Amino acid sequence: MIKKILISQPKPSSEKSPYYDIANRFDVELVFRPFIKVEGMSAREFRTQKVSILDHTAVVFTSRHAIDHFFTLAKELRVTIPEDMKYFCVTETIALYIQKYVQYRKRKVFFGTTGKMDDLLPTMVKHKTEKYLVPMSDVHNDAVSKLLDSKKLQHTECVMYKTVSNDFTEEEIKTFDYDMLVFFSPAGIESLTKNFPDFNQGDIAIATFGPATAKAVHDAGLRLDLEAPTEKYPSMTGALQHYLLMQED
């Protein structure tokens, strides 16, 4: 019987989150505890990549982390971002977040609707002469690079922030007592095996979001009990709700 679930993400800011509906409907305790955290690169670390921000006329943002670390690093490097720099974001939410650092002007901020690079690509192609800079995490693949190459766009990928394990306290390790663990990235699985080298899965169910995270579970020799997204359940909350319903039968 599943009564206590660890969600490896920060606690939702809105009380209307579907996670709270799940907690009430199935009478389960949800504990939000990120297994990973994001840290910015230092100016010294960034310089080793030999990338100049000012050689570029546009920046591609795939997350709010990317925005935070881009502007923080620029400040540390004493680089003044030109007024006419263009910004291409995978969602409107990310685009609006730019206001935290620069005045938002529609003529220089563009965004997609699905959160996927494929959706943003047609807009970028309309601005074919731009030199695109793509800030990334140290944990990434070359999918974005291949996509931009396929449209012959000028681009440079660079690492501006890194994903590191969010270490657990001795007390947390001692009281680690969950019926289910939910992960959203391969780095979360790495953190689990680092913090709990003697982890014995037993009856603990493991749920993952995304194929790379599912693969990390298999690679770690663990059992995967719930994998999302699926065609029927595109969100983790939808998949989790269905899983808990099946457990009741």
pLDDT of residue 179: 97
How confident is the model at residue 242, as a pLDDT?
96
Q: Which helix (H) or strand (E) holds 70?
A: helix 64-76
- The residue type of 236 is M
- Residue-range domain boundaries for the chain: 4-35+166-248, 39-163
- Encoded amino acid at 170, one letter: E
Q: In the prediction, which pLDDT does 104 show?
A: 79
* Res 227: pLDDT: 96
Retrieve residue 66's tokens.
């990317």
Which of 194, 237, 198, 201 has its CA nearest to residue 218?
201
Does 4-35+166-248 carry CATH code 2.40.50.140? Answer: no
Q: Are 64 and 70 in contact (CB under 8 A)?
A: no
Backbone angles phi, psi at 181, to 5 degrees: -120, 135
What pLDDT is stored for residue 105 in this prediction? 79
Beta bridge partners of 89: 61, 111
Does 4-35+166-248 match 39-163 in CATH topology? yes
Q: Tell me if 133 sits within 8 A of 14, measured CB to CB.
A: no
Report the alpha-carbon angle 237-241-242, nearest 5: 120
CA distance 29 to 178: 10
For residue 227, CA distances in Å to 33, 41, 135, 184, 232 come to 20, 32, 29, 10, 12
Nearest Cα neighbor of 67 from 137, 8, 144, 122 is 137
Per-residue pLDDT of the chain (249 residues), as tens digits, is 899 999 999 999 888 899 999 999 999 999 999 999 999 999 999 999 999 999 999 999 998 999 999 999 999 999 999 999 999 999 998 999 999 998 877 789 999 888 888 999 999 999 999 999 999 998 788 889 999 999 999 999 999 999 888 999 999 999 999 999 999 989 899 999 999 999 999 999 999 998 889 999 999 999 999 999 988 998 999 999 999 999 987
pLDDT of residue 134: 97
pLDDT in the model for residue 194: 93
User: What is the pLDDT, as a whole number, of residue 239?
Assistant: 95
* CATH 3.40.50.10090 holds for 39-163: yes
Note if the bond before 211 is cis, omega within 30 degrees: no
Which residue type sits at 77?
L
